[in-house]
Structures are given as structure tokens and as C-alpha cells.
Amino acid sequence: MSHPFRHLRIAVSAALVAATIVTPTLGSGSAHALDNGLALTPPMGWSSWNRFGCDIDQWKIREIADAMVSSGLKDAGYRYVNVDDCWQAVQRLPNGDLTWNPQRFPDGIPGLARYVHAKGLKLGIYGNPGKRSCASWSGSYEGEMGSLGHEYQDARTFARWGVDYLKYDDCWSKVDGVSASHAFITMSQALHATGRPIVYSIHNMPQQPVPSWIPKVANLWRTTADITDNWVSVATIALLTLPLAQYAQPGAWNDPDMLEVGNGGLTLPESRSHLTLWAMLAAPLILGNDIRTMSPETRELLTNRLMLSVDQDQLGRAAVPVHMERGWVLLRPLTGNRWAVSLTNVSETPLVLSVTPQELGLAGHWTYQEAWSGHAGTLTGALTRQVNPHDSALFVLTSGTSPRG
């Protein structure tokens, strides 16, 4: 049996090759992005899929909304409650409108939207550009409820229901003769035509390279295949998303998929790294755990103020690698002449990771605060920490002059 981290080494090599082809810089984002005034920082919320898959109903979603408030997640910035696949009825209504599974959602999606909105939260829904959803393709759910040929009708339906976020997920729509660009652009236009502010999240296949049309029509777009609840998946997805930093900007975000923190497959250090890397990538933070039963340790990780401030920084520029020989050292510009620096140990042994001000391009006087330990101090030489296997340190540097370049 091969060592499980052999796959990570292979992915590292592949991503580094890709990075030599598309080298990320600290310049501004792509020139054109969707201008709908939404998602000016990466969306934060929760989605049903990672933890529950098709096992969803209105009572479970309502309990999640309750828990988002009572746990402090709402106050920390998590606002979207996203219902993923398997909410749909098997057939449309006689007039062609979408409708919900009446056994799972007897009060309907509008009733669920009212409940979620009354909590000060927002509701997300799931759709597809072809005829069938991903769960339908896999055989785990009945029906052909994709939006092909119904894009404007479905957008009006979502708006009428009170939906605030649409995840539009491409699952083998090419079998239906769908052009990905045409399908995703059409739904973008349809959502705009409703007049309702609806964040638009798309999952195109293949995910890379990012076609030039995607940032113009979507607020966020998936960068890789689906995440799974293990360290190899988390690290590989982060590595493959790093070369796409140039695309990130307010209103338009690379999406390395939902979080797995709290689902049991990651250790505490791996969970810290998961959040550190997603924050440095300026990634959406969409929780995938059962927040009704999450541990105090998980809640503490997810509500870490410094980590969240990095992810939600209004400058909206993603991190780039400084060096990645022994561990990963990433640098992300922040507002107010501040910089985020992360040190991640992807190896199986403890490492002393270090980066000098010169490597960061820094001059002058800098202070720092580290997110996970709370330690603060003055940068008097190299930024050095011993980092345990699969763990990360996340620093915010303040004051001083701007990095070169």
C-alpha cells in the first residue's frame, strides 16, 4: 500500500509546475469582475452538503439557523444558511415552476426563508445548469430538476421565495448539450433581471484554468474538485488554488470549497491549517459541520477574530507564496499597510520555519500578532516558529513601510 502522503507530494509537484506557468503576483485582481454590489468580502456561512448530504429537511435547517445564532457564529460574521442538493420535488409544477419536496419541506422554501431571515440570517439554495442535479446523477435522489431551459423562470422563483444565495453546480450538463459559459452567463443575467440581490456561486467543470468569463458573471467559483474530510485533500486544494491569486478581488472570489473543520477527519493542528490557508487565500468560509453539536474547540477555531479579519479584509487580495521549500510561507496584503504571513508545515515531522523581513520585502519597524496563540511582539529579525506536523501559524504585521514591488 502506498503512503497516503505520496498523493500530496504528487499534487505539490503538479501545482508547482502550474505556478511556474501562471505566477501569482501581489498586483491588483483581474480587470473585470461581476459588479452586482454583493460579496465584497468572501461570503461566510454554512452549507448542508458536507455533513448531511441528501439527509436534509426543514427542521434540521431551522435548528442549524438557531445554532448559528446561539453559538455566536452569526455575531462572528457567518450569515448564509445554504440548503444544498435534495431539497427539490421530483417534478416541476404544471406551469413549469420549481417546487420543493413536500415531505422534507412541508412549509416550503418561502417558509424556511422567513424563518432564517427572522434570525437575521440569509438563505441559500442549490441549482444546476443541466437537467439533473449531482445527487440525481449519482442515483441518490430522484428527479430531473435542473434549470436548463428554465433559467429566467427559476431565477424569478428563487427571488420570489426570498433566496439570497444560489449555488449553481455543473454536474455532467454537457450530456444535455449545455455550453458551460452560456449556461452560467444566462443564469447570471437571469438573477440580475430579478432585481433581488442574490450572491452567485458557480461550480464549473473542469475547474482550472479559470476562463476569463467566469469572474465577470459570478461572485465565487470553485477552483478544484470536491473537498473531502482529510488533510491530503485540504492541503492539495490549497496548493492548487494558490496560483489563482490574481483573480481574487471584492465581489469575485476563488472558492476552494466548503470547510471540513469539525467533521472528525482533521486533527486540531490540521483544522488550524485549514482555516489559516483559506483565510490567506481570501476564500469563502462556508462551514460544513453540524454546528448544533460542535465542540467548544471547534467553535473557538471558527470564531478566531484575527483569522476572520484576515479572511474578510476589505482589500480583497489573496496570498502568494514567499517560499515553499520546507514549509509553506505565504504573504497576503491587508488594508491599513498591514500584512498577513502564514507558516504551514505540510510534513510529518516538526519544522522550524523562518522568513526574513528581506524575503517579505519589508523595511522599517513592524509589530506582529499571531492568531492561534495570541502572542504579540516586535519583529526584530526573522519571523521564526517551530511548527508541528500539519499545523500553521498566522501572523498579522502592522506599521512600517510597504513591501517592495
- This prediction's pTM: 0.93
pLDDT digits (tens, 9 = 90+) for 286-341: 999 999 999 999 999 999 999 999 999 999 999 999 999 889 999 999 999 999 99
Backbone angles phi, psi at 240, to 5 degrees: -75, -20
Cα–Cα dist 90/277, whole Å: 39
* Radius of gyration of the chain measured on its C-alpha atoms: 21
DSSP code per residue over 166-194: EEEE-SSGGGGT--HHHHHHHHHHHHHHH
Cα–Cα dist 289/47, whole Å: 8
Kindly indicate the confidence band of residue 25, based on its pLDDT and cuts at 50, 70 and 90. low
Contact 241, 269 (CB under 8 A): no
- Cα–Cα distance list, 233 to 11, 192, 240 (Å): 10, 35, 11
**Class of CATH domain 320-399:** mainly beta
Q: Where are the domains of the chain?
A: 44-312, 320-399
The contacts of residue 6 (CB under 8 Å, 6+ apart) are none
Q: Check residue 203 and report its DSSP letter.
A: E
- What is the H or E stretch that residue 16 is in? helix 6-21
Kindly indicate the confidence band of residue 205, based on its pLDDT and cuts at 50, 70 and 90. confident
Contact 386, 345 (CB under 8 A): no
Mean of per-residue pLDDT scores for the chain: 91
- What is the H or E stretch that residue 216 is in? helix 214-217
- What does the pLDDT read at residue 269? 98
Read off the C-alpha cell for 18: 502550474
- Cα–Cα distance list, 204 to 36, 170, 242 (Å): 20, 6, 18
- What does the pLDDT read at residue 94? 97
Q: Which residues carry out catalysis?
A: 169, 226
- What does the pLDDT read at residue 268? 98
Supply the angle between the helices 6-21 and 231-241 in degrees, to the nearest 10. 10
pLDDT digits (tens, 9 = 90+) for 29-44: 555 789 899 999 999 9
Strands ordered across the beta sheet of 285-287: 253-255, 220-222, 199-203, 165-169, 122-127, 80-82, 44-47, 285-287
Cα–Cα dist 68/118, whole Å: 13
Read off the C-alpha cell for 50: 458536507
Cα–Cα dist 264/289, whole Å: 9
Read off the C-alpha cell for 387: 511548527
364-365-370 Cα angle (round to 5): 125
Percent of the chain predicted with pLDDT > 70: 91
The separation between the first and the last C-alpha atoms of the chain, rounded to the nearest angstrom, is: 47
5-8-12 Cα angle (round to 5): 145
The contacts of residue 2 (CB under 8 Å, 6+ apart) are none
* More confident position, 11 or 79: 79
pLDDT digits (tens, 9 = 90+) for 98-155: 999 999 999 999 999 999 999 999 999 999 999 989 999 888 899 889 999 999 999 9
The mean pLDDT of 150-168, rounded to a whole number, is 98
Kindly indicate the confidence band of residue 7, based on its pLDDT and cuts at 50, 70 and 90. very low
Kindly indicate the confidence band of residue 400, based on its pLDDT and cuts at 50, 70 and 90. low
- Cα–Cα distance list, 9 to 4, 133, 347 (Å): 10, 33, 10
Cα–Cα dist 395/405, whole Å: 21
- pLDDT over 80 at 255, yes or no: yes
Cα–Cα dist 169/145, whole Å: 12
Cα–Cα dist 318/35, whole Å: 19
Fold classification of 44-312 (topology level): TIM Barrel (3.20.20)
